[in-house]
Amino acid sequence: MRVGVVGDLYIDEYVQGRLVGVSPEMPVPRLAECTRTHQLGAAGNVAASFAAMGATVSMFAVIGQDAEGDRARALLGDAGIDASGLQQDAGRVTGTFTRFLAGPGRHYLRLDRENRQPIGVRLRARLLERIAGRLHDLDLLYLSDYDETPERSGCVSPDLVRALVAAAGDRGLPVAASSRLAPAVFAGTTYLFCNRAEARGLGWAPPEPLGAWMTVTREALGVSLLVVTEGEAGLTWTAGDDSGTVPAVPAAVVDPCGAGDALAAVMALALASGSAPGHAARLGARAAAVAIGRAGTVPVTWQDLQASLAVPSGDTAESAAARAPGVTPTAVRHPKFVPMAEMADRLAPFRGSARIVFTNGCFDLLHAGHVALLEAARREGDLLVVGINSDRSTRANKGPGRPVLPEEDRVAILTALEAVDLVTVFDELTPIRLIRQIGPDVLVKGGDYTEDEVVGRDLVEAAGGRVVVFPYQRGWNTRTLIQSLRTASDGTRAG
């Protein structure tokens, strides 16, 4: 997924200190600096959130010709974000929010270095030209308006919004947007995200029912989907004749900074990838829960989201196990285990932004050949899914006496491997149904196979994917290992 982010690029600076009493100069707390760190803030954090989810991201913004501007470029580079769309203005400063903390998440003071210099007409025209020239390379455009200045000196002006919405519409490009103070400016966008305060700015007046107001407002603004987040109350969305509410995912709050950006980025990415609004909303709520559990604006990665999705909100390991016959609750508790019925939904946010690799087998008595195969498979992409034959399926394929280890043990072993990202169990003789659900970009098989003999090859290649066969090394196979163990237990092998 290729995403362009347009907006107010700030730097979030965190000064972590320790309280050392009262200042001798006046009766105020005295903080001794321990560390000073920097993160991409405002629209920069939105861009970083997309990049952390595996998207290819380009940033479009106006920054100052100052040290903070240089730092912003460096931070974008560190995050793998294309900074060629940045414009510099000698008359502006690069905004910086400095937060002083006396412990993890314990904000003591915030110092804002805001830009109050409006962007000139010529520079704004160059910015628009740069963005418009790149729209054909994008799958999603996100407009992030963080301007809170009375002068409205931010990057995203009403004229810029109108021009970009029109140009994106001509190309069928979805446009997502969020605004701190002026959400009404983003009429005509595809997805519009607001919080409670911003919804009030749009005219919501509690106790008026939020859902009814949203339906009218969405139609008035001409947006396809309107989302209002309500903190601990979760979020509500409406799209066409459909709407819904998703409760917040319970989480220990360390620092709420960046939670809204994480939610909007994950939800917009899922929507642009074809997910239904309800499913996208649930993913966004998960991302927000991960974000508030961390100190500072640290982007939520797809690995974080994957771990959060391991057990559904409000569910238990035991009830999840009931949906995966034959797999014990112990296996289900591992964040890498996914019941086969839930695999398609789990992978939805990664499609288009991560190369999904799939391999399968019984993996009975894991040996060095298995490990080499899995590590080689993981190098073929960004996310490795492993399908394990159930006990019944293994017996049908391998004969009496197999498997040696029950499926719950095989799941537990494979989930412990760093190369493996997700594990599931299938009960059929072949993984063809599972391959249809996963839709991998790369199908990997180990052993003495030709590509033509690999089950699912036709499906994967027809969808534009490829098949890779890795021969087992050094003659390793489970049958030989079992025979060796039997020989050793009989006392007939030299020791």
Distance CA 338, CA 422 (A): 7
Return phi, psi of residue 344, to 5°.
-60, -45
CA distance 225 to 251: 27
Query: Which residues are 422's β-sheet partners?
Result: 385
Active centre residues (catalytic): 261
Dig out the tokens for 277 from the structure: 């609004």
CB 149 within 8 Å of CB 138? no
CB 415 within 8 A of CB 396: no
Name the residue among 78, 1, 71 with its Cα closest to residue 275.
1
What are the angstrom distances between the C-alpha of 277 and each of 239, 340, 493?
A: 8, 22, 62
